[in-house]
Amino acid sequence: MIAIDVEKNLGGFVIQALFHAPAKGVTALFGPSGAGKSSIINMVAGLLRPDRGRIQVNGHCLFDSRQGIDLPPERRGVGYVFQDGRLFPHLSVRSNLTYGLHRVPKDQRYVTFEQVVALLGIDHLLERRPARLSGGEKQRVAIGRALLSSPALLLMDEPLASLDGPRKAEVLPFIGRLAETVAVPILYVSHAREEIDALAGTVLNVASGRIVGAAGAGGVSIFQRE
């Protein structure tokens, strides 16, 4: 179970997100630009500190304002795929991938280099540098790097927003296989209805910093704080 209860004032724009989501499959945060979706997952990742609240993933507390718990990003066991991939430009695809792998003790790894390369179809790209990749290829490598850190939760923030139609169609099937093949829960941010329809088992509707509705068979619960 992913349990989120956070509040953050961002210059007068207040985020109050309170929900429980299943610890499997793809849970989408869906809503217009500026609704607060990215801020919510940035708080989960540890990139933005809530003013108050609690964040828990599979019984592991990442943040609790009352108890003074605030794990740094590198200790949260969370993988993050950004909109622009953010690959290391001076490293090959292979080295970008193994950067995530080598940061995890062997006994804590649940996916291998070979499995990820096969899943994402990037074997032919391993010796290239990011400058020689298409946008879709960069995102597939970014997903692979995040997976090889063996995260307890994978965050995706508009990972297809910078891609054109054909590149989106290239990457979507790979994302769709992740939750089933690797069994990692995904929080997926998007304002594109077609992406949500293709990927998400559970959809959380976000508006004005709040979760205002939910749909799907994932057992999600939403609450409103008075």
pLDDT in tens, 53-63: 999 998 899 99
pLDDT at 189: 95
What is the per-residue pLDDT across 101-118, written as a single tens digit (0 to 9) for each?
888 888 888 889 999 999
pLDDT at 96 over 90: yes
What is the per-residue pLDDT across 200-226, written as a single tens digit (0 to 9) for each?
888 999 999 999 988 765 555 555 554
pLDDT at 56: 96
pLDDT at 4 over 90: yes
pLDDT at 226: 47
Structure tokens at 89: 């430009």
pLDDT at 153 over 80: yes
Look up the pTM and report it: 0.89
In which band, very low, low, confident or very high, does the pLDDT at 45 lie, cut at 50, 70 and 90?
Answer: very high
List the CATH number of the domain containing 27: 3.40.50.300
State mean pLDDT over 64-91. 92
Average confidence score pLDDT of the chain: 89
Number of domains in the chain: 1
For residue 135, the enclosing domain spans 2-222
